[in-house]
């Protein structure tokens, strides 16, 4: 069997982004854990912060997750008084979710944790390189259909 060039693999963008992404995800999860949330909770809070109250079905579509996950996340966030559920006046079978003041405070704390982690991750980069990295990651995220 031919030897695989390990340097060729570890030098690929896919390997580096995947490995770094795993490490950063774990660090972000650890940073928000003391707040009583996980990254998926933070994602739901972030989506809700962008506009009007949304149905659980709409949120599942936007987040690209199964509706039952949104229900579970919403249950937990409701226990934290971060969101509120209101029956949709147009369809009594649906609930609309919206952030509470506590939810906005929780999201702000999560943003602060993310910003602190960003600063740690980019500490060895100059300002121009940090800005370029964010711009390029935004391009890749947009092309993948993710928020830029």
Which of 102-108's residues contact partners 24+ apart within 8 Å by CB, and which partners?
A: 103/45, 103/48, 103/77, 104/49, 106/35, 106/37, 106/45, 106/80, 106/82, 107/42, 107/45, 107/46, 107/49, 107/82
- Confidence check: pLDDT of 44 > 60: yes
> What's the confidence (pLDDT) of residue 132?
96
Model pLDDT for residues 77-104, shown as the tens digit of each residue:
999 999 999 888 888 888 889 999 999 9
Q: Where are the domains of the chain?
A: 24-143
Query: Mean of the per-residue pLDDT values for the chain?
Result: 91
Strand 54-55, strand 83-88: pairing: unpaired
Looking at the DSSP assignment, which residues form a beta bridge with residue 64? Answer: none
- Compute the average pLDDT of residues 103-114: 98
Regarding pTM above 0.95, the answer is: no
Note the CATH architecture for domain 24-143.
Orthogonal Bundle (1.10)
């Amino acid at each position: 069997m031919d030897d695989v060039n390990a340097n060729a693999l570890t030098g690929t963008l896919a390997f580096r982004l995947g490995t770094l992404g795993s490490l950063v995800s774990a660090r972000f999860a650890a940073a928000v854990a003391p707040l009583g949330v996980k990254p998926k909770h933070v994602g739901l809070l972030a989506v809700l912060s962008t506009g009007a109250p949304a149905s659980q079905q709409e949120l599942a579509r936007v987040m690209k997750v199964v509706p039952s996950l949104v229900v579970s996340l919403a249950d937990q966030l409701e226990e934290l008084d971060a969101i509120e559920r209101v029956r949709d006046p147009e369809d009594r079978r649906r609930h609309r979710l919206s952030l509470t003041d506590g939810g906005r405070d929780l999201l702000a704390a999560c943003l602060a944790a993310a910003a602190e982690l960003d600063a740690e991750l980019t500490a060895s980069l100059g300002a121009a390189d940090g800005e370029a990295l964010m711009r390029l990651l935004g391009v890749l995220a947009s092309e993948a259909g993710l928020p830029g």
